[in-house]
Amino acid sequence: MSDHGDEMTDVRQTQPIAQTRILALGDWPADRLFSSKAASTFALPAHLANEVELAWKSAGARPGVNLFDGPMCRLEHFTTKDGLHLHLSPTSYKYFIGTNGQHPHWADLYGQHVMANPVGTSVLLRSTDGQLLCGQRSQSVALYPGCAHPFGGTLEPGANGSTPVLMDEILRELAEEVNLLPTDLSDIRAIGLVEDSHLRQPELVYIATTKLSAKDISDRIDPIEHHGSWAINDHHDAISETLATGAAITPVLAATLLAYGRWQHGETWLLRQLSSHHKDDRHAQHD
């Protein structure tokens, strides 16, 4: 998925950075974020459609996991000229679980046209007392239980199937998961389009600067999806150490920290991190 466009288990690694892929990095406030409808290229052969149904039933049978087949937005392709522009088509959570969630290897076997590829949204919060915060996922979620992960969700279509307003979507997620309102923020912007290379899922990642302390943010977290907060110092050494030690963080959080570090500390910092992990597979132009 670029300009040209397993099992559902705890798949944490000692170095989640190895499971990240950077599609594009930039600095995109609300007025530089765009979405539009695109014709769907999703095509699932009958035998794979049966596998999706089986995967959905299996996922729903796990103790403590509650599944709902809601609408989502599939990434068809994107461009970065004059801002970030996502071209989207409809998909659903069932197809995500049945393809990216449980059969990510299908992308190699059959091609991207059999993958749901819904766009995830993730936001890292910066507190007034110098902390970067995200959530600690509960054990009841289907993917990466117990790992630290940014707040967020997935893009959902608007009324009557219209394309979503990208900034409105992440603000909705912040209200739902952390009880944060726009008035609690002094700034919010997208800083990267990345991919969990295990799930093959694209993720639009943001940094939000808040008017709250780390404790104030932690006290507001909704306990249904997150059983607490996870934080590190907003310092380049702390970010580098977290990426190097491979704490129990998701690939998306690793990618978000890379995007944030590049946004805050520059391209040289990013290149140093990628070099230390023998990794630089960016496939799109940066702003």
pLDDT at 224: 73
Exposed, middle or buried, 63 (CB in 10 Å: 0-12/13-18/19+)? exposed
pLDDT at 277: 66
HSE-up of residue 244 (Cα within 13 Å, Cβ side): 11
pLDDT at 10: 36
pLDDT at 275: 83
The pTM (predicted TM-score) of the whole model is: 0.88
CA distance 133 to 262: 17
Q: Give the burial string for 28-37 (b: 16+ CB within 10 Å, else e).
A: beeebbbbee
What is the mean pLDDT for each group of 10 consecutive residues in the chain (287 residues)? Answer: 34 63 96 97 97 91 79 97 97 95 94 97 97 87 81 91 94 95 98 91 97 96 82 94 83 95 95 75 47
The CATH code belonging to domain 20-276 is 3.90.79.10
Residue 96, phi then psi, degrees to nearest 5? -65, -50
CA neighbor of 231 nearest in space, from 245, 212, 218, 246: 218
pLDDT at 49: 97
209 pairs with which residues across the strands? 126, 187
